[in-house]
């Protein structure tokens, strides 16, 4: 299995794995030799699911949905993660595909019924694999638009290397309060790291979303923020940072879909958000001058989350 993967990687990608600093954890361990750092991942495909996903922002999903590749494990460990069945680094990675050929065939199959967009979800710790997949597709003259769907906990240098690879950045900007990022995601430096990382994405893409004549997205940056219950102050600080550090002209996706995945050890996280909390956040965003906002209807049943046990999606109710 490892040999099958290594033959798809460049020398630079193999070197990067020999002393891994792909993400801000900078574990500096040799993943080629089987060592594992914070993300508990050596050199394996570790793809939990490849599936058509209609639940992304409408400009991405349009009518047909996009092809999403979900990696197992993550360089953050958010206590409220809705993908916890695959993102937890404590469990063995879910890996549905044994070879790169299987992965490529599955992506080709899903792309046939999707928009021409390929999204990588939680790709940071598996960047060499992501790049290898894209190269393998290009070799077959398949050129989907590439979405980088990440938690926002990224190295600037790593992002700089993606400038000509990623078409659409779709990062979370979760926190601007260190106490929260430490408590909920085991990443005390998240606010500062995410600020620098998303500024780099902004440098690459600017605030305009580019589309072709048929309104298919070509390139851009959409910043997601999930409002947590009782944490409006954090959310307002995040929006303040985006407005001042980037621009109120960027596109926001303000997510209201928070739903505790199970009984959490933090009492305040064990409920959904209220309409008032969400409306307050929207009003605050407008007051800062944001005008390109994907908002969610709290009463909508449209929100779907992956069901990794059955390799499909279920409603987030
Ligand atoms: S990708 Fe994994 S091993 Fe590499 S620095 Fe990040 S957490 Fe550590
Ligand atoms: S960054 Fe996203 S995928 Fe990773 S643990 Fe947090 S919520 Fe889950």
Cα 77 to middle of ligand 2, angstroms: 6
Q: In this predicted structure, what is the pLDDT of residue 299?
A: 67
The per-residue pLDDT of the chain, averaged, comes to: 94
Cα 33 to middle of ligand 1, angstroms: 14
Largest CA distance in the chain: 54
Quote the CA–CA distance of 36 and 17 in Å, as a whole number. 10
* pLDDT exceeds 60 at position 302: no
List of E strands, the chain: 47-53, 66-71, 117-121, 145-150, 168-171, 210-211, 217-226, 251-255, 293-295, 304-307, 312-315
Cα 77 to middle of ligand 1, angstroms: 13
List of E strands, 34-131: 47-53, 66-71, 117-121
Ligand 2 touching residue 87 (CB < 6 A) = yes
Instruction: Look up the domain containing 181 and give its range.
Output: 44-315
Ligand 2 touching residue 226 (CB < 6 A) = no
Q: Which residue's CA lies nearest to atom 1 of ligand 2?
A: 151
Note the pLDDT tens digit of each residue in 203-253: 999 999 999 999 999 999 999 999 999 999 999 999 999 999 999 999 999
Q: Which residue's CA lies nearest to atom 2 of ligand 2?
A: 151
Cα 65 to middle of ligand 1, angstroms: 30
Q: Is residue 29 included in any domain, yes or no? A: no
* pLDDT exceeds 80 at position 316: no
Ligand 2 touching residue 228 (CB < 6 A) = no
Atom of ligand 1 nearest to the CA of 21: 5
**For range 20-32, the mean pLDDT:** 98
**For range 298-305, the mean pLDDT:** 62
Q: Is residue 243 included in any domain, yes or no? A: yes
Q: Is residue 310 included in any domain, yes or no? A: yes
Q: In this predicted structure, what is the pLDDT of residue 240?
A: 98
**Residue in the block written with tokens 């209220």:** 274
Other C-beta atoms within 10 Å of 146: how many? 22
Note the pLDDT tens digit of each residue in 64-97: 999 999 999 999 999 999 999 999 999 999 999 9
HSE-CB at 135 with a 13 A cutoff on CA atoms is 14
Quote the CA–CA distance of 34 and 56 in Å, as a whole number. 35
46: left (phi over 0), alpha (psi -120 to 50) or beta: left
Atom of ligand 1 nearest to the CA of 31: 3
Quote the CA–CA distance of 298 and 136 in Å, as a whole number. 40
| Closest by CA position to 297, among listed 84, 53, 58 | 58
Question: Which ligand lies nearest to the CA atom of residue 126 in the structure?
Answer: 1
Contacts (Cβ under 8 Å, ≥6 apart) of 292: 209, 249, 250, 251, 252
Confidence of residue 3 (pLDDT cuts 50, 70, 90): confident
Q: In this predicted structure, what is the pLDDT of residue 317?
A: 58
Q: Is residue 68 included in any domain, yes or no? A: yes
Quote the CA–CA distance of 80 and 265 in Å, as a whole number. 10
| Total domain count, the chain | 1
CATH of the domain at 147: 3.20.20.70
Quote the CA–CA distance of 143 and 136 in Å, as a whole number. 10
Cα 126 to middle of ligand 1, angstroms: 9
β-partners of residue 138 are none
Cα 151 to middle of ligand 1, angstroms: 14
256-289: b or e for each residue (b if 16 or more CB lie within 10 Å)? bbbeeeeeeeeeebeeebeeebbeebbebbeeee
β-partners of residue 53 are 66
Cβ–Cβ < 8 Å for 96, 143: no
Q: Is residue 17 included in any domain, yes or no? A: no
Q: Is residue 16 included in any domain, yes or no? A: no
Atom of ligand 2 nearest to the CA of 121: 3
Q: Is residue 90 included in any domain, yes or no? A: yes
Burial of 230 (0-12, 13-18, 19+ CB in 10 A): middle
Cα 147 to middle of ligand 2, angstroms: 16
Q: Tokens representing 303?
A: 């929100």
């Amino acid at each position: 299995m490892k040999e099958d993967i290594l033959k798809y990687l460049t020398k630079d990608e193999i070197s990067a794995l020999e002393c891994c600093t792909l993400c801000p954890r900078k574990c500096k361990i040799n993943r080629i030799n089987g060592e594992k750092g914070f993300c508990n991942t050596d050199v394996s495909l570790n793809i939990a699911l490849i599936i058509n996903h209609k639940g992304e922002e409408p400009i991405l999903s349009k009518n047909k949905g996009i092809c999403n590749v979900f990696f197992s494990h993550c360089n953050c460990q958010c206590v409220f993660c809705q993908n916890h069945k695959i993102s937890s680094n404590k469990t063995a990675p879910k890996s549905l595909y044994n070879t790169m050929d299987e992965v490529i065939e599955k992506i080709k199959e899903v792309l046939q019924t999707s928009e021409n967009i390929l999204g990588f979800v939680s790709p940071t710790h598996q960047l060499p694999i992501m790049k290898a997949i894209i190269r393998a597709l290009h070799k077959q003259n398949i050129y989907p638009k590439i979405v980088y769907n990440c938690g926002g906990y990224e190295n600037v240098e790593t992002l700089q290397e993606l400038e000509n690879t990623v078409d659409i950045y779709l990062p979370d900007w979760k926190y601007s309060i260190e106490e929260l990022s430490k408590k909920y995601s085991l990443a005390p430096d998240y606010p500062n790291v995410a600020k620098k990382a998303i500024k780099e994405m902004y440098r690459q893409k600017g605030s305009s979303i580019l589309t072709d004549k048929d309104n298919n997205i070509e390139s851009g940056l959409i910043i997601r923020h999930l409002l947590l219950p009782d944490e409006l102050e954090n959310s307002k600080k995040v929006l303040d940072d985006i407005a001042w550090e980037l621009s109120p002209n960027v596109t926001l996706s303000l997510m209201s879909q928070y739903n505790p995945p199970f009984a959490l050890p933090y009492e305040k996280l064990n409920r959904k958000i209220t309409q008032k909390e969400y409306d307050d956040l929207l009003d605050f965003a407008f007051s800062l001058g944001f005008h390109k906002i994907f908002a969610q209807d709290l009463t909508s049943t449209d929100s779907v989350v992956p069901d990794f046990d059955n390799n499909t999606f279920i409603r987030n109710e």
